[in-house]
Amino acid sequence: MSNVQSNVISRTKDWVESIVIGLDLCPFASYPFQEGSIKYVLASPSYSLVMRLDLVVEEFNAFTEGNDNIDIETTLIIFPKGLSKFREYLDFLDLCQRELKKLELEGVIQLASFHPEYQFADLDIADVRNYTNRSPYPMIHILKESSVSQAIDSHPDVHSIPLVNQEKLLALGLEYFKKNDD
pLDDT at 77 over 60: yes
CA distances from 136 to 11, 93, 131, 182 (A): 7, 17, 11, 10
Where do the structural domains in the chain lie, given as residue ranges? 3-181
Does residue 5 or residue 128 have the better pLDDT? 128
The values of phi and psi at residue 105, to 5°, are -110, 5
Please give the angle made by the CA atoms of 45, 48 and 50, to the nearest 5 degrees: 135
Question: pLDDT band for position 4 (50/70/90)?
Answer: confident
- pLDDT of 70 reads 60
For the segment 89-98, what is each residue's pLDDT rounded down to a tens digit?
999 999 999 9
- pLDDT of 146 reads 77
Question: pLDDT band for position 71 (50/70/90)?
Answer: confident
| Chain mean pLDDT for the chain | 90
- Per the CB < 8 A criterion, the answer to whether 97 and 111 are in contact is yes
